[in-house]
């Protein structure tokens, strides 16, 4: 068989299992209404939790930033690509999160690839939640390739994690977890995890991609939601393309930890810095997040309205206080059929299947936004009841 034939065979197997993926091309900015495939769809597929991705003020900040600073940074941060907007953004993110320093990245994936493999190598141990995001799993595998002992504990099982930590003789330990799990919408027990980190002298690496901008006072994230201190043993990753509405990510931590990542993290050192105009837009976004209590109230009202409306449906709705509301159908094809039926009625709700989620838990991943209206929620609920 030729190389292409081998790939075609595997693609056919993927299709037969109901696991094929495809892209849809939008002909409109990100928002509650998406122009796609020649029609307008009510969009429940976006992580734009505060409705800022299409905000004209952020677009103007980015345009003004491009006019002032050019289209690109020209180099990696440590060469000549660290411009004043990058530096100002890092300082403002540090002040906003309460950590001494932050380091910005072009994507959340790069940020997660920076932390765990840099801090964990031969003689060290990583303890990771089984439902962590793919970027954390890949980071864990890189740490394993560096010689670290890697162990995964059952989802949110503090007792199991405690036993693993107690049995470890590693010189350096890392507990790695999502704060808000991207496919279930539930929260990690961060207070208990921080207590274990303190008891067993471990780092606590937190991916707050879906909590930053949404949870806690002023949208400061999951640590603020739990009223936790900014401990020097915490490294906090937050993405800036979801609630923040733009793109990129940051890692926040102690001055020493951030300086160590700056000197040692390969996905930071060997990557061209993001365009400075992105940093300009993010500085404007940070101001909107800090003053966005009305947006967060609307988002959480939408969450409550949806959960009340679908409570009697035959599918499982796990406990989630966040913008991510998974409706678990189970069977892959049944999930695809339900998503297609919604699509045909003008509602865009993506079907999520293995390997993104465990076998037998295929689901609709309903993502809510402050931009959604009560009528939008009622329309989705009514259609789901009709299809049920």
pLDDT per residue as tens digits for the range 223-245? 999 999 999 999 999 999 999 99
How do the domains of the chain map onto residue ranges? 22-50+293-387, 56-290
Instruction: Judge whether 22-50+293-387 and 56-290 match in fold.
Output: no
Q: Are 279 and 90 in contact (CB under 8 A)?
A: no
CATH of domain 22-50+293-387: 3.90.1150.10
pLDDT at 1: 85
Tell me the pLDDT band of 18, cut-offs 50, 70 and 90: confident
Average pLDDT, the chain: 97
Q: Is 361 marked within a binding site?
A: no
Query: Would you state the structure tokens that stand for residue 213, as one six-digit string?
Result: 């901008």
**Where is pLDDT greater, at 14 or 52?**
52
Burial class (CB in 10 A: 0-12, 13-18, 19+), 144: middle
Distance between CA 48 and CA 229 in Å, rounded?
Answer: 27
27 near 371, Cβ under 8 Å? Answer: no
- Contacts of 357 by beta carbon, 8 Å cutoff, 6+ apart: 183, 363
The pLDDT score that the predictor gives to residue 251 is 98
Q: What is the largest CA-CA distance in the chain?
A: 60
Q: What is the band of 21 on the pLDDT scale with cuts at 50, 70, 90?
A: confident
353 marked among binding-site residues: no
pLDDT at 22: 85
| Residue 78 to residue 62: CA distance in whole angstroms | 23
373 annotated to a ligand binding site? no
What's the rounded Cα separation, in Å, for the pair 61 and 41? 28
Q: How confident is the model at residue 19 (pLDDT cuts 50, 70, 90)?
A: confident
User: Would the annotation count 239 as a binding residue?
Assistant: yes
Contact between 142 and 117 under an 8 Å Cβ cutoff? The reply is yes
For residue 318, what pLDDT band results from cuts at 50, 70 and 90? Answer: very high
371: left (phi over 0), alpha (psi -120 to 50) or beta: alpha
> Both tokens of residue 201?
């002298």
**Spatial separation of the C-alpha atoms in residues 280 and 253, rounded to whole Å:** 22
Q: Residue 356 annotated as binding?
A: yes
pLDDT at residue 37, as a whole number:
87
Confirm or deny that 316 is annotated as ligand binding.
Answer: no
To which H or E segment does residue 135 belong? helix 134-145
| Per-residue pLDDT at 355 | 87
Domain 56-290: which topology?
A: 3.40.640
Are 310 and 381 in contact by the 8 Å Cβ rule? The answer is: yes
pLDDT tens by residue, 171-211: 999 999 999 999 999 999 999 999 999 999 999 999 999 99
| pLDDT at residue 17, as a whole number | 83
Hey, how many other C-beta atoms are within 10 angstroms of the C-beta on 168?
A: 16
Mean pLDDT of all residues in 24-30: 94
Residue range 63-109, pLDDT digits in tens? 999 999 999 999 999 999 999 999 999 999 999 999 999 999 999 99
Q: Mind telling me the catalytic residues?
A: 182, 210, 242
Strand (E) or helix (H) holding 263: helix 255-264
The answer to whether the annotation marks 372 as part of a ligand binding site is no
- For the chain, report the end-to-end CA distance as a whole number of angstroms: 45
């Amino acid at each position: 068989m030729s190389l292409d034939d081998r790939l075609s065979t595997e693609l056919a197997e993927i299709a037969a299992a109901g696991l094929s993926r495809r892209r849809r091309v939008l002909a409109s900015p990100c928002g509650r209404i998406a122009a796609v495939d020649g029609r307008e769809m009510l969009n429940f597929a976006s992580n734009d939790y505060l409705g800022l991705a299409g905000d004209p003020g952020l677009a103007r900040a980015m345009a003004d930033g491009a006019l002032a600073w050019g289209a690109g940074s020209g180099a990696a941060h440590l060469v000549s690509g660290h411009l004043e907007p990058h530096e100002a953004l890092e300082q403002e993110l540090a002040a906003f999160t309460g950590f001494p320093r932050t380091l910005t990245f072009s994507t959340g994936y790069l940020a997660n690839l920076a932390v765990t493999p840099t801090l964990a190598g031969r003689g060290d141990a990583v303890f990771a939640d089984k439902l962590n995001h793919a970027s954390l799993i890949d980071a864990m595998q890189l740490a394993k390739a560096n010689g670290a002992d890697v162990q995964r504990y059952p989802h949110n099982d503090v007792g199991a994690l405690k036993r693993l930590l107690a049995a470890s003789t590693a010189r350096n330990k890392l507990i790695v977890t999502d704060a808000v799990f991207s496919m279930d919408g539930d929260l990690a027990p961060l207070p208990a995890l921080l207590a274990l980190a303190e008891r067993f002298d471990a780092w606590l690496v937190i991916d707050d991609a879906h909590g930053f901008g949404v949870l806690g006072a002023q949208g400061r994230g999951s640590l603020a939601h739990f009223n936790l201190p900014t401990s020097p043993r915490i490294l906090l990753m937050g993405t800036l393309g979801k609630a923040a509405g733009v793109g990129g990510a940051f890692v926040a931590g102690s001055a020493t930890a951030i300086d160590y990542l700056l000197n040692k993290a390969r996905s930071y050192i060997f990557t061209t810095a993001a365009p400075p105009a992105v940093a300009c837009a993010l500085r404007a976004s940070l101001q909107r997040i800090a003053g966005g209590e009305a947006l967060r109230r609307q988002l959480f009202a939408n969450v409550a309205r949806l959960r009340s409306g679908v409570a009697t449906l035959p599918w499982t709705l796990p406990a989630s206080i966040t913008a991510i509301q998974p409706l678990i159908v189970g069977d892959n094809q049944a999930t695809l059929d339900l998503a297609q039926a919604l699509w045909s009625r003008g509602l865009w709700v993506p079907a999520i299947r293995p390997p993104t989620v465990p076998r037998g838990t295929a689901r609709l991943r309903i993502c809510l936004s402050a931009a959604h209206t009560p009528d939008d929620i009622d329309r989705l609920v009514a259609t789901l009841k009709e299809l049920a």
